[in-house]
Amino acid sequence: MLGVGIVSACLNVLLLAGSLYMMLVYDFVIPGRSIPTLVGLLLMVIVAYVFQGMLDAVRGQLLTHLSSNIDVQFETKAHELVLTLARLYPARDAGQPIRDIDQVRGFLAGAGPTALVDLPWVFFFVAILFLLHPWLGFTVLAGAIVLIALTVLTERATQAAMADLMQLNRERQQAIDTSRRHAEAIHAMGMQGQLEAIWRAANGAYRQAQVRLSAKASRLTTAGRIFRLFLQSGVLTVGALLVLSGKASGGVIFASSILSSRALAPIEASIANWRSFVAARQSWRRLGEITTFEADRRPEQLLPSPRHSLAAEGLTLAPPGSPEPVVRGITFLAYAGEAVAILGPSGSGKSTLLRGLAGSLPATSGDVRLDGATMAQWSRAALGRDIGYLPQNVELLPGTVAENIARFDPETTPERIIAAAEEAGVAAMIRELPDGYNTDVGIDGRRLSGGQRQRIALARALYGNPFLILLDEPNANLDTTGEAALIEAIQGVKARGGIVVLVAHRPSVLVAVDNVLAVRGGRAISYGPRQALLPEHS
């Protein structure tokens, strides 16, 4: 921005060239009938215009690079914030940080910053007009004050409306995203009309707010443009009166007209771009949340990968956006080579507990410890390699089967991918796919069946031999063959010294577990060996 300011200073000084050229031609060349003087002035003004064009291009490039630098600076943090919002604050629009960066970048690369940087130079041109004659200076100064007042009115009139428009746009986007994600169920149950009514209401509210905001901004922009035209005529009138009274030369009329136009142009441009400026400022303010989230991090410790135990100590968890905890004070301990089943009725907090054990849901109180250390002491990237997680709702990422199994690790090898698939008992199924491991799974894995997605997600959880495997109803979509492969995979994890924690409603998989944690109402009611708590599955 300092470079932009320096270039703008040179540009605004060079803008004097046109008015000075016209004044000198009218006052000196025409009365003296001197062709050499005219040619010399023309060459000088051409040089000034060339430098002006070059500097204008340089300023545009500076602003373009600045806008790109903003994007580079925030892209990683914004992506992290998107994941954090989606994980912990589902009621908020997780995509807003990306749109905020786009808004700031678009504003910086447009005409708005140029107008704002040129705004202080209004008083420079007014000062030049004072040198020509005080009445010219006073006329333009009064006009500048009126236009600045219009700018302030534009700010006050559009700030609240712009915030409302952003909120309505989020609601509008959520409505269409809901229809997109649940298109099959909506079509099957004939709910198109109901969802269309919700969409039309949200879109109509957004459209009406946009019309109101545009009307306000347009009225103020038009008022500024008309007043500027009136002011230019007023300056010509004052100049003519000065010439008629012998207080100024004829060239002053043309010079003052150009100078007044240059003086007032940044104000009018600021009014025209004020809407985008307000939007960019609000986006920049929201991007401050990135710094807030980053400040909450605790320093990471240098620790080896966990290899011995998993402990929950008085773990209390609340779902995102809910003030009431769903899991209350659960404590248990599991050692390497053990599998733990979490059992309980629906709504008892089993999936929430699993999310807490994975570290994706922060604890309201209590801790989750691996080998005696809290999860926060590892970096998430390092700890993630030692955790395999299979969520209740399985959605694969767009890409190939191999990429999903490898967690999109760029340094993976075919041997590691195949090993994970074989451990999950899914290698034969993958070979039967049209392109094998190179089969494109589609968005959310929709090109595969529910059972195929679940088995590939199990291979993803087992990739890299992680120490802690967390499975949320891993056999919900599996047939007999898939369940047998799941049981074998659990036993394989135990044999290599890992820990498995799973939530299951179908009892067939319980033959592979060692301990059972029974929960009800978010509280642990018992924890112990499977043989003692579930003798029928021993």
Q: How much of the chain is in helix, strand and coil states, percent to nearest 5?
A: 65, 10, 25
Per-residue model confidence as pLDDT tens digits over 68-98: 887 777 777 777 777 777 676 666 666 777 7
Q: Residue 413 has which token pair?
A: 């090898």
Amino acid at 144: A
Q: Which CATH topology does 309-533 take? A: Rossmann fold (3.40.50)
Mean pLDDT of 516-522: 89
pLDDT tens, residue by residue, 430-455: 998 888 999 998 887 878 888 888 88
Sequence-distant (6+) residues with CB within 8 A of 351 are 392, 472, 503
What ranges do the domains of the chain cover? 1-289, 309-533
E strand or H helix at 473, and its extent?
none
Better-scored residue on pLDDT, 29 or 354: 354
Return the pLDDT at 417.
Answer: 92
User: Is the model's pLDDT at 153 over the cut of 90?
Assistant: no
The mean predicted confidence, pLDDT, of the chain is: 83
| Cα distance between residue 260 and residue 231, in whole Å | 8
pLDDT of residue 300 exceeding 60? no
Q: Which is higher by pLDDT, 387 or 92?
A: 387
Query: For the domain bounded by 1-289, which CATH number is listed?
Result: 1.20.1560.10
For residues 276 and 180, give the distance between their C-alpha atoms in angstroms, rounded to a whole number: 30
Residues 6+ away with beta carbon under 8 Å from 70: 101, 104, 105, 108
Q: How far apart are CA 363 and CA 313, in angstroms?
A: 11
Q: Which of 48-62, 140-154, 291-305: highest mean pLDDT?
A: 48-62
Q: pLDDT at position 359, please?
A: 86
**What's the pLDDT score for residue 46?**
92
Alpha helices in 89-191 (DSSP H): 96-108, 112-118, 122-132, 134-181, 183-188
CA distance 378 to 299: 9
Length of the chain: 538
Beta strands in 371-520 (DSSP E): 373-374, 387-390, 468-472, 499-503, 515-520
